[in-house]
Amino acid sequence: MTALLLDHVTKDFGEKRAVDDLSFAVCDGEVFGFLGGNGAGKTTSLRMVLDIIRPTSGRIEILGRAPGRENSADLGFLPEERGLYRTMTALDTITYFGRLKGMTRNDARAQGKSLLDRFGLGSSANTKIEKLSKGMAQKVQLATAVVNAPRLLILDEPFSGLDPVNQGLLEDEIKRLSREGSTIVFSTHVMQHAERLCDRLLLLADGRKKFEGTQDEARATLPARLTLAARETPVGLPGVASAAEAGNQDGWTLWDVRLEPGGDPGDLLQACTERGFGLRKFEQSRPSLHDVFIHIVGDAEGRA
Residues that bind another protein (CB under 8 A): 13-14, 47, 50-54, 69-70, 72, 75, 77-79, 81-88, 96-97, 99-101, 141, 144-145
CB-based contacts of 15, cutoff 8 Å, min separation 6 = none
First to last CA, the chain: 35
H/E stretch holding 243: strand 240-249
Q: What angle do CA 109, 99, 93 make, to 5 degrees?
A: 60
Task: Yes or no: say if 224 and 295 are a contact pair by the CB < 8 Å rule.
Answer: no
Between the alpha carbon of residue 238 and those of residues 53, 200, 234, 269, 270, the distances in Å are: 53, 33, 9, 10, 10
Q: What's the min distance (Å) between Cβ of 284 and another protein? A: 44
Nearer to another protein, 107 or 212 (CB): 107
Residue 211 Cβ vs another protein, minimum distance, rounded to whole Å: 27
State the nearest-atom distance from the C-beta of 47 to another protein, in Å. 8
The helix (run of H) or strand (run of E) holding residue 50 is: none
Shortest Å, Cβ 6 to another protein: 17
State which residue, 81 or 274, has the beta carbon closest to another protein: 81
Name the residue nearer to another protein (CB basis): 56 or 288.
56
Q: Measure the CA angle with vertex 151, ends 147 and 153; round to 5°.
A: 70
SS3 136: helix
Identify which of residues 3 and 78 has a Cβ nearer to another protein in the complex: 78
Min separation Cβ 40 and another protein, Å: 17
225-230 and 252-259 strand pairing: antiparallel
Q: Smallest distance, Å, CB 198 to another protein?
A: 22
Looking at beta carbons only, is 14 or 164 nearer to another protein?
Answer: 14
Nearer to another protein, 49 or 116 (CB): 49
CA 53-135-180 angle, to 5 degrees, is: 65
Kindly state the smallest distance separating residue 65's Cβ from another protein, in Å: 14
With respect to another protein, which residue has the nearer C-beta, 188 or 253? 188
